[in-house]
Structure 1
Amino acid sequence: MKTAKTAFPISEVREQFPALQRTYKGKSVAYFDGPGGSQVVKSAIQAIAEYMENGGANLHGCFPSSWETEAIIEEAKLAVSDFLGVQMNEVAFGANMTTLTLAISRALGKEWGAGDEIVVTEMDHRANVDPWLLMAEDRGLKVRWIKVNTETLTLDLSDLDRVINENTRLVAIGMASNAVGTIVDFEPIVKRAKEVGALVAADAVHAAPHIAIDRDRQGIDILLCSAYKFFGPHIGIAAIKEELFKELEPYKLVPAPSYYPDNLETGTQNHEGIAGIAPAIEFFASFGEGSTRRERIQSGIERIELHENSLATRLREGLKEIDGVKLFEAEDAVPKTPTIAFQVAGVAPEEVCKIMAEEHSIFIASGHFYASTLAERLDINKSGGWIRAGLAPYNTEEEVDRLVQAVAAL
């Protein structure tokens, strides 16, 4: 987690996000709801509009708009390959990460049965839990859980050799908690999975906007993320290792392609949305350095990470000084995304969010954010869940101070 102070061209960044011009109740809107979906960069919006204005088309036609659609998809997959450190032919698009995971789990489950096991964690968003649980129920697999330490808000890896064993076929882990921001120490988990020959499916939806990803170096077989979390459109992305993708047989219509990655892309894709993916990824590259786009992306993410974590530290310290505010976070030594979960004593989380919007024009969300197992373990559902504030490259110190002051006013 990068935390050093660094100069950051915040004015240049904010100019690229049209949504920041919005006002509500006579005040400029401050967006702290990025973990639920970031604002969209102008270049992605323009690419989506341009595609639709020029005439969209389905694939495999013998006319320009069809060829152009295929070229846009190819460019998007090339950009994703640079973003995630994968091959272009390992990338598939879908409605969202959840839908893709459901399809992948069903396809993998065809080969598994009684005596086989899968592993999920108590930290994860349910999109990387329930698809595997449903498949396990259908196929008669045993499910084991990596538990969360409710004191440290990290995964408890003390029993890893028992939880991941010779019967394990797949381990599903999240790279970072979308609720409390903990960046998961998944290296020991991956190492143990590889020792027993198990696959690793990683949810990078929350991690992708904040930390550089290298799927192969990190030992991941199936990587999933969503473009709408990193300044693009609502498109799910799967990056599956080629040798696994070759053998995967997703459920599909009979006439649909049987070759990968197209066999995972059921139905007509959201072509206009796909047009916005490459510009969203280029946003990261525009702040980086290097001779290749991959190098510029990684460098740009690291630069953005410094800015975001500086803001996150400012926000955490400000909230800690307010009586009645409780933060849910791992200790300082544990790397975290710039995502802060908290509650205010005596005020329901949803009510806090309403006051933030109506009185301060601050957009912030509450709930369990589909990390419902973690919420149950922390016993916070009965009190309305968390209030979650997420920082993005377009947030400012002034907005952070405004949020802290608004919470203090409660």
Structure 2
Amino acid sequence: MSQISIEQLRADFPALREGGQQKPFIYFDGPGGTQMARQSIDALVGYITSGMANLHGPFQTSVKTDILLEEGRKTVADLLHCDPHEVAFGQNMTSLAFSIARSLASSISGEDEIVVTELDHRANVDPWVTLAKDTGAAVKFLQVNPNTYTLELDRLNEVITEKTKLVAVGMSSNVTGTVTDVARIVARAKEVNALVIVDAVHAVPHLSIDFKALGCDVLLCSAYKFFGPHIGMAVIAASLFEKLPVYKLQPAPQEIPDKLETGTQNHEAIAGLIGAISFIEAQGEGTTRRERLQSGMQRIEAHELTLAERIERFLQEQPGVRLYRAPAGTPKTPTFAFTIKNVNAREATSWFAEKYNMNIADGHFYASTMAEKLGVNPMGGWIRIGLAPYNTLEEVALFEKGLQEYLAEKGIR
């Protein structure tokens, strides 16, 4: 497998061009949202400037929008390996999750149990906790191991039982980068006929996804995490989607996937989404779009792994730094959460922003259950470095220099 050309790849991101500021920005905030690829910007602006319209009209701009939505579903289907009619668009992942949760209420009772995890972003916890509150169902948590930052899957059989009706799990932690063995959870859930909801928001920018192979019922993600605009996607298995009693306007379409897409969709964002996926496709090779997307993701993953291995080694060696990272052998995305002894996280990230123009985030990142369990909130949460494919070895080296300088200023040796 040939490597990506980092110079050519970076040329596709206008935000990376040096402007009038003294130092160029260094974007280490990928988990919070990546920069937008040129292909996405061009597609979004192209749709707007060539004339917009709503759906189902006889005139050219309306027909163009109908075709746009159809192409958007096909493009997402190739990225995630699902059927186009299983793809629904929405405001964001969180809104889609709440809509699906509300629709599932009629199938959940007070005798049932819903399973969520301590590792996850609350967007894949609270919609289902709210569903439990509304229906009287019990909530159980798959616990996170405080030493390995992985879920305690050895307890699956006692957590997921015959009473379980729904299991919600994240494919990858947006804090520690831990990639969870979702297939194992799906297998156990299916033994008791429970639905499985997978949050792939943090996984899609880094891993090749196969919805059909996963065997889950719902997969959720957001385009602004993989080089596109702010728009959410829900992939819902047709067998569930067909019978899902969604809340909708009476005259609105009854068929899938339209019935979940309440109101007029963000058509320009869907155009940008198609452009973002075409950026990924351009990184790969193959005879079909699916093959090129898989190849492109493999090359992105290989590039990010090189940088990630260096950052991980470096952070593990620094005095006063605690890295929250799963052990070797556990799959992980290039996302690093750490704390510095006696330092508030916001103080450190502000220093990096001022001194080095580095966009490094801090906080609990909505993984608030894990943050509370691991006791990081009094320090302002974690400091998080999150890589994207446009990051370089030179940027990593500058971060290393900066952190050593900061530790020296603090007298940490």
Same fold (TM over 0.5): yes
- Are the aligned partners of 1:6 and 1:306 in contact in 2 as well (CA < 8 Å)? no
Counterpart check, 1:127 vs 2:123: yes
Match among 27, 31, 38 for residue 42 of structure 1 = 38
How many residue pairs align between the two structures? 406
Match among 330, 334, 344 for residue 348 of structure 1 = 344
Match among 83, 87, 112 for residue 87 of structure 1 = 83
Distance 2:184 2:265 in 1: 37
Distance 2:302 2:26 in 1: 20
- Are the aligned partners of 1:6 and 1:307 in contact in 2 as well (CA < 8 Å)? no
Amino acid at match of 2:286: G
Distance 1:253 1:367 in 2: 39
Which residue does 1:317 correspond to in 2?
313
Counterpart check, 1:178 vs 2:179: no
Compared with structure 1, are the counterparts of its residues 7 and 60 closer, same or farther at alpha carbon in structure 2 (3 Å cutoff)?
Answer: closer
Q: How is 1:287-366 mapped onto 2 (pairs within 5 angstroms)?
A: 287-366=283-362
- Are the aligned partners of 2:43 and 2:274 in contact in 1 as well (CA < 8 Å)? no
Which residue does 2:411 correspond to in 1?
none
Distance 1:183 1:213 in 2: 12
Which residue does 1:213 correspond to in 2?
209
Distance 2:367 2:45 in 1: 34
SS of the counterpart of 1:131? Answer: helix
Compared with structure 1, are the counterparts of its residues 356 and 25 closer, same or farther at alpha carbon in structure 2 (3 Å cutoff)?
Answer: farther
Distance 2:135 2:18 in 1: 50
Distance 1:277 1:40 in 2: 10
- Are the aligned partners of 1:325 and 1:345 in contact in 2 as well (CA < 8 Å)? yes
SS of the counterpart of 1:275? Answer: helix
Distance 1:300 1:230 in 2: 13
Counterpart check, 1:61 vs 2:61: no
SS of the counterpart of 2:339? Answer: strand
Match among 109, 128, 149 for residue 153 of structure 1 = 149
SS of the counterpart of 2:212? Answer: coil
Q: Please, which runs of 5 or more residues in structure 1 have no aligned partner?
A: none
Once the two structures are TM-superposed, the CA of residue 81 in structure 1 deviates from its matched residue by 0.3
Which residue does 2:261 correspond to in 1?
265
Structure 1 residue ranges (4+ consecutive) displaced by more than 4 angstroms after TM superposition: 22-25
Distance 1:404 1:110 in 2: 53
Distance 1:24 1:355 in 2: 21
Counterpart check, 1:377 vs 2:369: no
Once the two structures are TM-superposed, the CA of residue 24 in structure 1 deviates from its matched residue by 7.4
Match among 5, 18, 26 for residue 22 of structure 2 = 26
Which residue does 2:199 correspond to in 1?
203
Compared with structure 1, are the counterparts of its residues 253 and 318 closer, same or farther at alpha carbon in structure 2 (3 Å cutoff)?
Answer: same
Distance 1:7 1:55 in 2: 39
Amino acid at match of 1:195: E
Q: How is 1:189-268 mapped onto 2 (pairs within 5 angstroms)?
A: 189-268=185-264
- Are the aligned partners of 2:79 and 2:209 in contact in 1 as well (CA < 8 Å)? yes
Amino acid at match of 2:149: L
SS of the counterpart of 2:214? Answer: coil
Distance 1:380 1:301 in 2: 33
State the TM-score, normalizing by the size of structure 2: 0.96
- Are the aligned partners of 1:23 and 1:29 in contact in 2 as well (CA < 8 Å)? no
- Are the aligned partners of 1:285 and 1:293 in contact in 2 as well (CA < 8 Å)? yes
Amino acid at match of 1:36: G
- Are the aligned partners of 1:96 and 1:237 in contact in 2 as well (CA < 8 Å)? yes
Once the two structures are TM-superposed, the CA of residue 75 in structure 1 deviates from its matched residue by 1.0
Distance 1:407 1:69 in 2: 49
Compared with structure 1, are the counterparts of its residues 373 and 6 closer, same or farther at alpha carbon in structure 2 (3 Å cutoff)?
Answer: farther
State the TM-score, normalizing by the size of structure 1: 0.97
Q: Which deviates more from structure 2 when the two are superposed, residues 193-202 or residues 20-29?
A: 20-29
Kindly provide the CA deviation profile for residues 305-350 of structure 1, in whole angstroms up to 9, marking residues without a partner as x.
0100110111122222322221111112111000011112232111
Distance 2:183 2:64 in 1: 41
Q: Please, which runs of 5 or more residues in structure 2 have no aligned partner?
A: 407-413
Kindly provide the CA deviation profile for residues 95-115 of structure 1, in whole angstroms up to 9, marking residues without a partner as x.
000000000011011121111
Aligned-residue CA RMSD (Å): 1.2
Compared with structure 1, are the counterparts of its residues 7 and 258 closer, same or farther at alpha carbon in structure 2 (3 Å cutoff)?
Answer: closer
Match among 126, 130, 135 for residue 139 of structure 1 = 135
- Are the aligned partners of 1:25 and 1:358 in contact in 2 as well (CA < 8 Å)? no
Amino acid at match of 2:314: G
SS of the counterpart of 1:335? Answer: coil
Which residue does 1:166 correspond to in 2?
162
- Are the aligned partners of 1:152 and 1:330 in contact in 2 as well (CA < 8 Å)? yes
Kindly provide the CA deviation profile for residues 220-276 of structure 1, in whole angstroms up to 9, marking residues without a partner as x.
110000010000110100000011100011111222222211111111111111101
